[in-house]
Structure 1
Amino acid sequence: MTEQSKSGRVRGAGSGRRRKRPAGRRKAPILISGAAAVLVLGGAGLGYVYLKLDGNLQGVDINAQLGDKRPENVDNGSLDILVLGSDSRSGDNRAYGKDEGGARSDTAMVVHVYEGHKKASVVSIPRDTLITRPSCTDGQGATVPGERRAMFNTAYEVGGPACAVKTVESMSGIRMDHYIEVDFTGFKKLIDELGGVEITTTRPIKDSKSHLDLAPGTHTLDGEQSLGLVRTRKSIGDGSDLGRIQLQQAFMKAFIDRVRSVGVLTNPAKLYGLADAATKAITPDSELDSVQKLMGFAKGLSGIGAGNVHMVTLPVEYDLRDPNRVAPLAAQSRQVWKALEKDLPIPASATKGTATGEADGVVR
């Protein structure tokens, strides 16, 4: 049975990590995962539309699918969330490519919220990272065999959200407390509801595949352009997925600033539009599959300011056998995961000298 703790953390079966109440609350709390945290801004003002918005949400019972063979819950007041951006080409997303039989995790971020919930670290996992994928159970109960030298994003493709979570837990040794998935079309509509996001480019970005053509300078991107930016890679840096991750991280910071600047607290119509778009954009785990649960979760994160989110990419190198893939640097990756497991900042040495994609500073 799922229940909400006094601290605002939604707890349920298989979830045992406690959270401490932040010392204070800010009027305009920070978003931690793209679409979902727009709900943070609403506070109790969402009460009158809970029923309508609840109908937009459909959760995934990660705990039931994974069972008990998972990393231990560490009771240190921290919180870990896997955020995936799905590249499904079905439904409205067909405009972004052919449906070839399975969605993949186009974007993957592990969000670690530190004890006290005043700061967070975000670790981006390149989708082309070669990993040993564990065997897992998909959403229909079928067993999916494990595979060596599999790309990270195939975990979602062959086994869905639970397999993606199990793969991240296998890589990191850290239990994920929550899972949130954002899809292409929902992301685009959310940006449009916000009125666009302002970014500054230091170099031209022109990518025919993502339909993006930006000159150097400041731009207010609409939903279509924003989606193009976070998907582009061939036209920036070395053309790898690592460069795209740098664009995504820069965009997320701009998105955070935009969310904080929108006066939704005094504009119920704007608030409703954002909340409607956000709840349609995401698929959360079953502990976050209602507006009430999401609000409790979001309030527990409201002490985190934009300047207290540290973003890194998992330490990798280009694979010697296939330069189109990357492989984790074992020692440095362990540094990252051990730091988060112990609720410590990620040391600078963990990411020093790693492959970057050479796109740093293209967007700010």
Structure 2
Amino acid sequence: MPATRSRRRWGLRAAAVAAGLVLTAGGVGHAVLGSAEHGVHRVDPFTGLRDRPDAGRGLNILLIGTDSREGLTADEREEYHLGHASCYCADTILLLHLSEAGDRATVVSLPRDSYAKLPEHTFAVSGAHHEPHAGKLNAALSHGGPPLMVRTVEDLTGVRVDHYLEVSFGGFMRAVDEVGGVKVCTPRPLRDAHSGLDLPAGTSRLDGAEALAYVRARYVDGGSDLGRMNRQQTFLAAFADQAITGGALLDPARLGATVRALLDSVRADPGFGAEQMLQLAGVLKDFSPSDTRFASVPVQEAGRSVPGLGSTVIWDDGAARRLFAALSEDRPLPRPERSTTTPATLATLATPAPTAEDDDPPAAGGVSC
């Protein structure tokens, strides 16, 4: 098998688990995983949940990247363009499905600006009781913590969440630095003053701070959260590829440092321990590109203005129901549906994660990745 094909295969294989789970796909031993289990901060995201979707076949993991600045100094927040006010909001929302037979993985990105109905809850900040109300999906975390986040995702998708993983900015940046940085390729320059992103056209190796700007940038695609999701999927595959081919998972010292960097800012449900990590590793170790699918929720309207909420993402209800029914029933995803109202770039169902930034074709003077 050619080297480039082999690297892509490993990258897709491990990217399916994202963030901290990438470590388990590299054959990490029981001792390291046992240590990792004790280092993970625990949170119960299933407290008080009622009338949940029926358990389907396979395993569903909700992965949340948070906007928390916990553990970062004021100087670091300034350097990384993070601002000084920390919002416990969901900056990235991924739903990972592993088939019951262990032969297929699916990663679905849920737009953070998705229009949602937040169920009845106790507001985490004030303790006040809130009746159900409209909101953006990412606000569920700040309003009611992980339980409201899980409940809102389950209400939107009809998919039962089996495990919950949450990672914040600090651990993400340190993990990227520990694996030696991550290469990405963009066919045109990418600049976003809000996130601090400033990349030339072509291939760049990103350190932790640059990687954070790359996955957070929202103003290089006309303010599109959907283009950002595509970059996040691309980066996860590239991060996993670098962790494996760069030797971080084969060097005990580097592996330990990478694990510690992630654990500094990872929270998981009590049921997600070393045994589940090893089980997940066993499922993923033989994956090939054809076994892994990256997808985004089908969108009807990407920027609908809603009073009190601002710009929201409206799902295509019919196509979304078919997608999540396939997950619940442990079937392969339906093929993309293209329409006159949904841009082709949004119809990304059942497409492998790209290996290069390809939100847009190369502009004049750009490069081909």
Length-normalised TM-score, structure 1: 0.81
Q: What secondary structure is seen at the aligned counterpart in 1 of 2:143? A: helix
Residue 350 of structure 1: how far off its partner (Å)? 4.5
Kindly tell me the number of residue pairs found equivalent between the two proteins. Answer: 332
More moved, 169-178 vs 36-45: 36-45
Answer yes or no: is the 8 Å Cα contact 2:124–2:143 preserved in 1. Answer: no
Structure 2: any 5+ residue segments left out of the alignment? 1-9, 347-357, 363-367
Task: Point out the more displaced range, 140-149 or 110-119.
Answer: 140-149
Unaligned stretches of 5+ in structure 1?
1-25
Match of residue 206 from structure 1: 191
The one-letter code of the counterpart of 2:179 is L
Give the deviation of 1:202 after TM superposition: 0.3
Q: Distance in 1 between matches of 2:133 and 2:34?
A: 45
Shift of 1:166: 0.6
Aligned with residue 34 of structure 1, among 18, 27, 32: 18
2:54 corresponds to 1:72: yes
Distance in structure 2 (CA, Å) of the matches to 1:93 and 1:164: 27
CA contact 1:102–1:158 (8 Å) conserved in 2: no
Is 1:303–2:286 an aligned residue pair? yes
Per-residue CA deviation, residues 172-217 of structure 1 (Å, 9 max, x unaligned), is 1110011111111100000111111111110101122222211111
Return closer, same or farther for 1:98/1:320 CA change in 2, 3 Å cut-off.
closer
- Specify which of 208, 213, 216 is matched with residue 201 of structure 2: 216
Judge conservation of contact 1:253–1:306 (CA < 8 Å) in 2. no
SS at structure 2 position matched to 1:219: strand
Give the deviation of 1:284 after TM superposition. 1.1
1:72, distance to aligned residue in structure 2 (A)? 1.1
Task: Give the equivalent residue in structure 2 for 1:86.
Answer: 66
Separation in structure 2 between the aligned mates of residue 108 and residue 291 of structure 1, nearest angstrom:
23
2:41 maps to 1:58 = yes
| Structure 2 Cα separation of the partners of residues 286 and 141 of structure 1 | 26
| Residues 46, 272 of structure 1: 8 Å contact kept | no
| 8 Å contact kept, 1:30–1:305 | no
Pairs within 5 Å for 1:231-310: 231-234=216-219, 236-264=220-248, 266-288=250-272, 290-291=273-274, 293-310=276-293
* Correspondence 1:1-364 to 2 at 5 A: 30-41=14-25, 43=27, 45=29, 47=31, 50-51=34-35, 53-63=36-46, 65-74=47-56, 76=57, 78-92=58-72, 95=77, 96-100=81-85, 102-136=87-121, 145-234=130-219, 236-264=220-248, 266-288=250-272, 290-291=273-274, 293-316=276-299, 317-322=301-306, 324-350=311-337, 354-355=342-343, 356=345, 359-360=359-360
User: How much has 1:125 moved relative to structure 2?
Assistant: 1.0
Tell me how far apart the structure 2 counterparts of residues 305 and 285 of structure 1 sit (CA, whole Å). Answer: 29
Q: Deviations over 1:30-57 (max 9, x none)?
A: 2433321133156463516844x44531
RMSD: 3.0
* Distance in 2 (alpha carbons) for counterparts of 1:254 and 1:261: 10
Counterpart residue number, 1:16: none
TM-score normalised per structure 2: 0.80
State the distance in 2 between where 1:100 and 1:267 align: 38
Contact 1:93 1:185 in 2 (8 A): no
Percentage identity across aligned positions? 32
Query: Per-residue CA shift, 1:268-317, capped at 9, x if unaligned?
Result: 212212222222232111112x4455334433433333553211211121
